């Protein structure tokens, strides 16, 4: 399997398949980041496509010493912020307890389960609650959480992408995790022991 740098080198030589491989390799993390920042899957697809098109246009500026994922995340970060600045303020919140959430991020997340109905329902509920909790975070917290916990990016990579100092990134992540836990508890997902203690 070719490394990211090799793929970029081949793509620069005009191999379309190499660029396609880059897209396939990074479509999930880029889409995941953009979608979670926007909370709107339809716009997220357009914007994620734009991220790759921008990468395609500026592929010659990619420094092979850096991780390709960081470079793409940086483009995604800039593209998302530019989009959010341009658009009129509007949010598409994920309503708690809404049965029909087709098209929402929670629905996209919870699709394709092959578990038994009860487990699938629980997982769907948990995924929805977690997405709601993430959506309620401040944008800079949300971005750090998605990059660190979902995409497994390092602190340094998050610093590179967001342009924030290391200390701020660590503080953001700590506070975001605390806020997420509080949100999950508020949404009825307190630890089993706590719930049992409350019930008794």
Partner 1 sequence: MRSAHQDILDRWLAAEQNDRADEADAALAALFTALPPLLPPAGFADRVMLRARLEMETEMVTERVAVAMPAPVRRSLFASLWVRGALTLCLLAIGVSVLWLPQMLHAVAGLLSVGGLVRIWTSSLVTACRWLGSVLGLWDFLMTVGRALATPLETPTVALALVSCLLVSLLAFRFLRGLITRDRSWTYVNS
Reported in sequence order, the residue ranges of 42-177 that DSSP labels E, i.e. its strands, are none
137: left (phi over 0), alpha (psi -120 to 50) or beta: beta
Q: What is the smallest separation between the CB atom of 30 and partner 1, expressed in angstroms?
A: 8
Residue 193 found at the interface with partner 1 (CB under 8 A): yes
Span from 2-10, 60-68, 94-102, 105-113 in contact with partner 1 (CB under 8 A): 105-113
CA–CA gap between residue 9 and residue 4 (Å, rounded):
9
Residue 117 found at the interface with partner 1 (CB under 8 A): no
Residue 192 found at the interface with partner 1 (CB under 8 A): yes
Q: How far is CA 56 from the centre of its chain?
A: 21
Span from 1-9, 64-72, 95-103, 126-134 in contact with partner 1 (CB under 8 A): 126-134
Q: Which of 1, 16, 60, 102 binds partner 1 (CB under 8 A)?
A: 16
Residue 119 found at the interface with partner 1 (CB under 8 A): yes
Residue 105 found at the interface with partner 1 (CB under 8 A): yes
**Which residues, numbered 69-98, are part of the site for partner 1 (CB under 8 A)?**
77-78, 81-82, 84-85, 89, 91
Residue 119 makes CB contacts below 8 A (sequence gap 6+) with none
Is the Cα torsion angle 186, 192, 193, 198 positive or negative in sign? Answer: positive
Residue 159 found at the interface with partner 1 (CB under 8 A): no
Residue 4 found at the interface with partner 1 (CB under 8 A): no
List interacting residues with partner 1 (CB under 8 A): 16, 19-20, 23-24, 27-28, 31-32, 35-37, 41, 45, 48-49, 52-53, 56-57, 77-78, 81-82, 84-85, 89, 91, 105, 108-113, 119, 122-123, 126-127, 130, 138-140, 143, 148-150, 152, 163, 174, 177-178, 180-181, 184-185, 189-194
């Amino acid at each position: 399997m070719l490394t990211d740098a090799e793929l970029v080198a081949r793509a620069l030589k005009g191999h379309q398949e190499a660029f396609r491989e880059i897209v396939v390799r990074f479509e999930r993390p880029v889409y995941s980041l953009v979608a979670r920042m926007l909370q709107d899957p339809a716009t997220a697809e357009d914007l994620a496509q734009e991220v790759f098109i921008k990468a395609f246009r500026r592929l010659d500026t990619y420094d092979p010493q850096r991780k390709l994922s960081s470079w793409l995340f940086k483009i995604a970060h800039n593209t998302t912020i530019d989009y959010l600045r341009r658009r009129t303020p509007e949010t598409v919140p994920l309503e708690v307890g809404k049965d029909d959430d087709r098209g929402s991020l929670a629905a996209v997340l919870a699709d394709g389960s092959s578990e038994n109905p009860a487990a699938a329902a629980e997982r769907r509920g948990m995924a929805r609650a977690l997405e709601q909790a993430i959506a309620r975070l401040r944008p800079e917290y949300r971005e750090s959480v998605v990059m660190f916990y979902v995409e497994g990016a390092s602190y340094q990579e998050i610093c590179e992408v967001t342009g924030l100092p290391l200390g701020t990134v660590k503080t953001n992540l700590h506070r975001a995790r605390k806020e997420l836990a509080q949100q999950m508890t508020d949404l009825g997902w307190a630890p089993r022991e706590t719930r049992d203690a409350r019930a008794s």
